Amino acid sequence: MLWFGLPGMLGAWLGASLARWVPGAAQLALFAFVMLVAAWRMLRSAPVAAGDHRLHLVAIIAGGAAVGVLSGLVGVGGGFLIVPALVLLAGVPMALGSISPISGALSDRFGSRPISVIGLVVTMGSFLLLSTLSADTTAVGFMLRYLCLLYTSPSPRDRTRSRMPSSA
């Protein structure tokens, strides 16, 4: 996400610089307009498929810069602007995009080591639950164990592999 993040940082600086000269009412109106457009696009657009190679580096860079300018100008970002842009432009799965701000906030507050340990313990517990399956396990018991595992491990379509196009 380097191609999205670096232009976003520069755009945020530019947007924050512009915010001094834009009246508060205009910033609020822009915020409301962008919120409506983002909601409409998220509802109407088909997400980019995981193996789709139509991702364009120029669109990702321009999207990062535009999100940065808007973030700096109206003072919002994160889940409101960045996540929808990554989902629509870079093909990031919605599950990964929506959990990223939460995991980032937890990591900032508690550090990465406790969060990693908790994730590993939950995953280990899920595998232990699956190891208790027997021929007598009911369908409900199987589904409960499977759901625990499903929500603790990435599925093949939600893996965090790079979907960035090559620049060459």
77-112 pLDDT tens trace: 756 788 778 877 877 777 777 676 677 777 778 877
Cβ-contact 5, 71 below 8 angstroms: no
Residue 34 pLDDT:
83
pLDDT in tens, 113-129: 887 787 778 777 777 77
**Which of 40, 43, 91, 44 lies closest to 63 in space, CA to CA?**
91
Query: Is pLDDT of 11 > 60?
Result: yes
Using CA atoms in the order 82, 42, 45, 66, what is the torsion angle rounded to 10 degrees?
-30
pTM value is 0.56
Structure tokens at 9: 């940082």
pLDDT in tens, 15-70: 989 999 999 899 989 988 988 887 787 677 665 555 554 567 888 889 889 988 99
Cβ-contact 30, 81 below 8 angstroms: no
Residue 52 pLDDT:
52
Structure tokens at 124: 């280990």
